[in-house]
């Protein structure tokens, strides 16, 4: 894939870019034509997971810090939006009811930056005490952090201090409003009705594109090079004058920021949040997206996120009809078979593509391309 892209001239690249842009803009219409509104919602969630994978890629792919509790930052952003843009606080606390009888309903464009800042602060709080840990020990501590946040959300609704409403979650969360128009309302353009799923798709597409752009600029910056030096050898990086402590904290906080923003968007899109959405398995899935695509390589991570979110949903809707068509009945439960096929795919990929489906180009790849170009330009 890398060699193919390198061989394309600027004109071919521009044509490819325009085709890709047209496909992205038409994607919700294609998805609805194929499988209805449910598939448009799946595409929406795929974009959210691309944002999450890009955030985790900063920590794992760029800086080489194994983080198994990344979903905690997603939860922090989601609950921040849920508390400040619903009537939950006014329904459960006297002081909030007196000050805001119908709920806070703070504009989402104010809450999302707050959620991102709170998630970044959580990233620094996580990173500060574990600066000297690495490898398995770092993975265990981050895993514990993710579970602590989930248990915290689960238990803060079982007593008089009902902050999170426990496992029942928080509902009636305000939607995103753009120029005074709430995105949960259907809009009609040229006789075609664009539902909530269509409107959120274009919002998430813009946010995902912005996330990819910021990550790309970070990778090419001095900070990005420092993260990669840290990933390769932290002792050598320290000997070269890199402030390892600050670099690690920046990786945790910036990665958490994207998780917080994605969490806020998730809460607004769903209109409901509960601790069940932020389990340990979600962290594993996001980590698998980064590893499967190719750690540290942005296009690879995007590809990994698309495959890891889209493939299970595709199997969910196709496996049961296929069994009925082939055997006349359902032999294996859809959920079990889906997990088996997904696990088998992961094993095959790790055996034959251990660096991921689309890894970072190596020096050998670049030499091959240069030598091919020279051969092509040599006169006969």
pLDDT tens digits, one per residue of 262-295: 999 999 999 999 998 898 888 888 988 898 888 8
**Domain extents in the chain:** 37-279
User: Do the Cβ atoms of 53 and 301 come closer than 8 Å?
Assistant: yes
From residue 373, alpha-carbon distances to 5, 9, 222, 367, 380 in Å are 13, 11, 30, 10, 14
**pLDDT tens across the length of the chain (380 residues):** 555 555 666 667 778 888 888 999 999 999 888 888 888 999 999 999 999 999 999 999 998 888 888 899 999 999 988 998 888 888 888 888 888 887 778 887 788 888 888 888 888 887 788 777 777 788 888 888 888 989 988 888 777 788 888 888 898 898 888 877 888 888 888 777 888 999 999 999 999 999 999 999 999 999 999 999 988 888 898 898 888 888 988 998 899 999 999 999 999 999 999 998 898 888 888 988 898 888 888 999 999 899 888 877 877 777 777 777 888 777 777 777 767 777 787 788 778 888 888 888 776 665 555 555 555 555 54
Q: What is the DSSP letter of 62?
A: I
Whether the CA torsion 323, 325, 326, 329 is positive or negative: it is: positive
pLDDT tens digits, one per residue of 82-111: 998 888 888 888 888 888 887 778 887 788
Structure tokens at 294: 């190719």
Most distant CA pair in the chain, distance: 86
Strand segments, DSSP code E, in 158-309 are: 170-171, 177-178, 181-182, 187-189, 192-194, 272-273
Residue 75 CB contacts under 8 Å (≥ 6 apart), including other chains:
149, 150, 153, 263, 273, 275, 277, 278
């Amino acid at each position: 894939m890398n060699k193919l892209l390198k061989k394309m001239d600027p004109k071919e690249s521009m044509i490819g870019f325009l085709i890709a842009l047209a496909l992205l803009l038409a994607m919700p219409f294609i998805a609805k034509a194929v499988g209805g509104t449910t598939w448009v919602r799946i595409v929406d969630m795929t974009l959210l997971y691309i944002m999450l994978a890009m955030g985790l890629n900063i920590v794992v792919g760029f800086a080489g810090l194994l983080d198994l509790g990344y979903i905690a930052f997603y939860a922090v952003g989601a609950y921040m939006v849920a508390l400040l843009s619903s009537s939950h606080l006014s329904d459960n606390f006297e002081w909030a009811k007196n000050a805001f009888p119908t709920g806070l309903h703070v504009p989402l464009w104010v809450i999302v930056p707050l959620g991102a800042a709170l998630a970044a602060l959580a990233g620094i709080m996580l990173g500060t005490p574990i600066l000297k840990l690495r490898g398995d020990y770092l993975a265990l501590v981050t895993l514990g952090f993710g579970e602590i946040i989930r248990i915290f959300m689960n238990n803060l609704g079982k007593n008089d201090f009902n902050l999170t409403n426990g496992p029942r979650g928080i509902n009636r969360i305000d939607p995103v409003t753009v120029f005074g128009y709430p995105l949960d309302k259907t809009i009609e353009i040229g006789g075609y009705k664009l539902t909530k799923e269509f409107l959120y798709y274009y919002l998430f597409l813009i946010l995902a594109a912005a996330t990819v752009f910021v990550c790309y600029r970070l990778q090419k910056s001095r900070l990005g090079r420092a993260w990669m030096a840290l990933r390769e050898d932290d002792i050598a990086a320290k000997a070269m004058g890199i402030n390892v402590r600050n670099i690690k904290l920046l990786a945790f906080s910036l990665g958490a920021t994207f998780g917080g923003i994605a969490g806020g968007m998730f809460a607004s899109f769903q209109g409901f949040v509960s601790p069940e959405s932020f389990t340990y398995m979600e962290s594993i899935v996001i980590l698998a997206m980064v590893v499967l695509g190719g750690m540290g390589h942005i296009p690879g991570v995007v590809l990994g996120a698309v495959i890891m979110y889209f493939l299970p949903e595709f199997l969910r809707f196709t496996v049961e009809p296929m069994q009925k068509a082939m055997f006349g009945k359902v032999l294996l439960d859809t959920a079990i078979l889906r997990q088996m096929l997904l696990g088998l795919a992961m094993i095959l990929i790790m055996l034959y593509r251990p660096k991921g489906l689309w890894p970072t180009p190596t020096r050998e790849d670049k030499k091959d391309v240069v030598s091919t170009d020279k051969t092509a330009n040599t006169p006969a």
